[in-house]
Structure 1
Amino acid sequence: MKLNHLNLSVSDVAAAREFLETFFNMTCEVSRGNGFALMYDDDGLALTLMKGREVHYPKTFYIGFSQKNKEQVNKINQCLRENGFDVKPPGYAHGCYTFYVDAPGGFMVEVPCYSES
């Protein structure tokens, strides 16, 4: 069985949507202002963003966008830096080459590569 739907409560739907479209190639299919967005990745995952009054995820909560190689991880990291995001350079942690970024809206994103290439 495949996980194919996830809902995130976010403090700013429009900013979170734009972030996911710009840096992770997600496509927004339905947008209702700053209250709701339905997005898809290229593998059919449906991600809904819903406006939350108080968004407080645990420090260990994140969503991830796995990459095929280290070069892709580096490319996304550099793009985020060039667009003003405060991200540390990628490194090795828990068995992969990875980094984390705080996304607009109150959640965290991991960008890992699990292969050695």
Structure 2
Amino acid sequence: MKLNHLNLCVKDLNDATGLFQDLFGFELQDRKGDAIAVMKDEEGFTLVLSCSAAFGGENPIYPEGFHVGFYVDTKEEVDRFYDRLVGANLIQPDQGAKNIRGGYSLYFKALDGILFEITSFA
């Protein structure tokens, strides 16, 4: 069995699409107005972003501990990602990466509170 895609509900489709393109290198494959954006990463993973308000729903509220995690090859890549986040004002300078559970991890919140993780196990 192969995981085909993940649908992530977001409040603002433009903000979410921009974040995944600019920070994570996803490419926009298709867009349906302000309702749905289909994106792919360089590994071929499909991420579907949907705006629940476009379907008459409420803004998403994710449970404590929910997060979107990315692995990178080196600690230096985590640190470079941190520098990009500081430069984009998405993280405070005192929120750097830490050694956690055998990895070197950086956590930050974006898109109205969604937690993101960038980790290297090198």
TM-score by length of 2: 0.87
Partner of 2:55: none
1:106, CA displacement in angstroms? 4.2
Equivalent residue, structure 1, for 2:3: 3
Q: Which runs of 5+ in 2 are unaligned?
A: 53-57
Shift of 1:105: 4.8
> Any gaps of 5 or more consecutive residues in structure 1?
none
In structure 1, C-alpha distance between the alignment counterparts of 2:105 and 2:4, rounded to whole Å: 23
**Residue aligning to 1:86:** 91
Are 1:99 and 2:106 an aligned pair? yes
Counterparts in 2 of 1:109 and 1:83: CA distance versus 1, 3 Å: same
- The aligned counterpart of 1:14 is 14
- Cα distance per residue 1:36-80 (max 9 Å; x no partner): 100001111110000022211112001111100001000011101
Paired residue for 1:72? 77
Aligned to 1:109: 116
Q: 1:4 to 1:69 in 2, by over 3 A?
A: farther
Task: Give the structure 1 partner of residue 47 of structure 2.
Answer: 47
Aligned partners of 1:97, 1:32: CA distance in 2, in Å?
A: 37
Q: Between Structure 1 and Structure 2, how many residues are aligned?
A: 115
Aligned identity (percent) is 30
Q: Distance in 2 between matches of 1:31 and 1:106?
A: 23
Query: Relative to structure 2, which stretch is displaced further, 64-73 or 104-113?
Result: 104-113
Summarize deviations over 1:70-101 as a string: whole Å, max 9, x none: 01000011101101112510011122101111
| Aligned counterpart for 2:61 among listed residues 46, 56, 69 | 56
Counterpart-to-counterpart distance in 1, 2:99 and 2:3: 26
Moved more, 79-88 or 61-70: 79-88
Deviates further, 52-61 or 10-19: 52-61
Structure with greater Cα Rg: 2
Query: What SS does the corresponding residue of 2:71 show, helix, strand or coil?
Result: coil
